[in-house]
Amino acid sequence: MATVIDYLSAPEFAPDQLTESINVPEYRTGRPAQLGIFTDEPIATTYVRIGVTEDEITIIPARERGGENNLNMGADRQAVYIGIPHFPLDDAIKPSDLQNILAWGEDRVFQTLGGIYNQKLGSMRNKHEATWNFLDWGALNGLILDAEGKVLVDLYSKFDFTQHSINFALDTTTTDVAAKNRAAKALLRRELRGAASRGAVVLAGTTFFDKYVSHQKVLDALKGYPGATANPARDEVEDSFTFAGMRLERIDEEFKVRQPDGTFITKEAVENDEAILVPLGTDYFKRYNAPPDTIGNANTAPNPDDKIFVSTEDLPHGKGQEIHTESNLLPICTRPQVMIKLTVGN
């Protein structure tokens, strides 16, 4: 008679099937993913070589010695290797997950086990996605941290770039906000150097957004505007607003970051009194996906849709089955100059 351990070894619960299952949902957690800012790029190595030339970062895949060479590096001013961070997360199916809930019959056993797998895989996927979202926001700020606050990549420091910053002076009632918009968009166009884009968006901290939409110049400009677009002179503007050719989105996302002493601090995705102007639909924003940490997948680029790898292993003494998941991702902007900081000012 088949046991539960036998059912756990069924083809339906094989690692490749579980990997396919956990990767079925599209990654849409967080505003960067929803806007499609980053493009996924599978690579066959656990690091990328970043060369800097003419103030532009270009990503060069690492190659095995004696293999195919990379061309057109030009005259690098600096070259460094950046490792792709490794994010493992494990769980297990144990007797307590099954005790007293299995009814008689093979179909019911498979249904119960399938539900338990789906619950555990769904929970682990949610945590991986929350991690990717945290990394995405780090990349947009030029400072990528892990969950414990450790710096993974500081683009501006590492490559000696100074981030563009424009003071919007929103605390001054006479500030010409439309002129500030034009200056920010002009700077972005210069830094894009003619690269194609789908426009741009301002990802605004809560204070920046509120002061922008309630600024006297904005209210005066829209006072007599009869259109259906949200008008802060007459309407409640909650999360998005377009004025003088610039679209702003209010960002309320925040994260709990563990400190060395074990306590947690809250970190906003965007600082409350700041905003980030970023282009959409460019090739400058990449999310590199490295192979999982297994012999069979070494030096092999993952499938484009497989951000999470799943494997299983029976626990000793019939105690159940361990479920191992991992993701190996690094989002990065290869031209940090196109991420323009906007500040409330004094």
Token pair of 252, please?
């309320």
Closest by Cα among 10, 42, 95, 48 to 320: 95
CA distances 108 to 8, 17, 21, 130, 319, Å, are 14, 20, 20, 33, 21
**DSSP three-state, residue 90:** strand
- Confidence at residue 53, expressed as pLDDT on a 0 to 100 scale: 58
Q: For 55-74, what is each residue's pLDDT tens digit?
A: 555 666 667 666 777 665 55
- Confidence at residue 86, expressed as pLDDT on a 0 to 100 scale: 94
Q: For 310-345, what is each residue's pLDDT tens digit?
A: 999 989 988 889 999 999 999 999 888 999 999 998
Number of H helices, E strands in the chain: 9, 19
Burial of 155 (0-12, 13-18, 19+ CB in 10 A): buried
Q: Over 151-205, what HEC string results?
A: EEEEHHHHCCCCCCEEECCCCCCCCCHHHHHHHHHHHHHHHHCCCCCCCEEEEEC
Map tokens 């700041």 to a residue. Answer: 274
Query: Is the CB of residue 287 less than 8 Å from the CB of residue 38?
Result: yes
> Measured between alpha carbons, how far is 147 from 129 in angstroms, rounded to an integer?
13
> Measured between alpha carbons, how far is 311 from 323 in angstroms, rounded to an integer?
6
CA distances 161 to 84, 143, 164, 280, Å, are 22, 12, 9, 22
Q: What is the pTM of this model?
A: 0.86
pLDDT tens for the chain, 346 residues long, are: 455 666 666 666 777 888 888 888 888 889 999 999 999 999 999 998 766 655 555 666 667 666 777 665 555 456 667 889 999 999 998 888 877 665 545 556 666 778 888 899 999 999 999 999 999 999 999 999 988 888 999 988 877 788 999 999 999 999 999 999 999 999 999 999 888 999 999 999 999 999 999 999 999 988 877 666 667 666 667 788 999 999 999 999 999 888 878 888 899 999 999 999 999 999 999 999 999 999 999 999 999 889 999 999 989 988 889 999 999 999 999 888 999 999 998 6
> Measured between alpha carbons, how far is 40 from 17 in angstroms, rounded to an integer?
22
First to last CA, the chain: 76
Helix (H) or strand (E) holding 80: strand 78-83
Query: Is the CB of residue 284 less than 8 Å from the CB of residue 338?
Result: yes
